[in-house]
C-alpha cells in the first residue's frame, strides 16, 4: 500500500512566526525545498498552495513532491487530494492544524504542522 502525505501549505507556513506574511511566495518556496530533502517515509507528498503562495512554486511534480495550486480555497483542494489518494487505496495523512478541515478528511490520519516541521 502506498502512502501519501497531503500538506496544508498555508497552515504549515503560518505555524511559524518568522515573517512569512511579508513574503508568502518565498515562504511557500522554502517549505517546498524542505519537503524535497526532508526525511519522511511517504511515497508521495502533495503540497497544496493557495493565494499569493502559489507564485513561489510552480504546480507539478518535483521528485516525490507534487505541488497543487488550489483553484478556490485550500481546504477544498486538500479534501479533494486526500479523497483521491484514499480512492487509490493509499494510506493518507493530512498535515494541518485547522480543526474544521481535520474533521472533514476522514478516513485520513491528521498530524500537526509541528510534527512535519520536526521531520524536515
Q: Cα–Cα distance between 110 and 119 in angstroms, integer?
A: 15
Write down the pTM of the prediction: 0.95
The tens digit of pLDDT for each residue in 82-120 reads 999 999 999 999 999 999 999 998 888 999 999 999 999
Please give the residue range of the domain that contains residue 101.
3-119
Task: State how many domains the chain has.
Answer: 1
Distances (CA, A) of 47 to 12, 72, 110, 116: 10, 15, 15, 12
The CATH number of the domain holding residue 58 is: 3.40.50.1010
Q: For residue 103, give the 3-state DSSP assignment.
A: coil
Mapped onto helix, strand or coil, the DSSP state of residue 74 is: helix
pLDDT per position as a tens digit, 64-88:
999 999 998 899 999 999 999 999 9
Is the alpha carbon torsion for 31, 73, 21, 103 positive or negative?
negative
Rounded Cα gap, residues 1 and 82, in angstroms: 15
Q: Are 20 and 56 in contact (CB under 8 A)?
A: no
Amino acid at each position: 500500500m502506498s502512502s501519501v502525505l497531503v500538506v496544508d501549505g498555508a497552515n504549515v507556513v503560518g505555524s511559524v512566526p518568522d515573517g512569512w506574511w511579508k513574503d508568502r511566495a518565498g515562504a511557500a518556496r522554502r517549505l517546498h525545498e524542505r519537503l524535497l530533502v526532508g526525511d519522511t517515509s511517504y511515497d508521495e507528498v502533495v503540497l497544496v498552495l493557495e493565494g499569493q503562495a502559489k507564485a513561489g512554486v510552480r504546480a507539478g511534480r518535483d521528485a516525490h513532491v507534487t505541488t497543487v495550486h488550489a483553484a478556490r480555497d485550500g481546504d477544498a483542494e486538500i479534501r479533494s487530494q486526500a479523497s483521491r489518494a484514499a480512492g487509490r487505496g493509499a494510506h493518507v495523512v493530512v498535515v494541518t492544524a485547522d480543526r474544521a478541515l481535520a474533521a472533514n478528511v476522514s478516513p485520513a490520519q491528521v498530524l500537526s504542522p509541528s510534527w512535519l516541521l520536526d521531520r524536515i
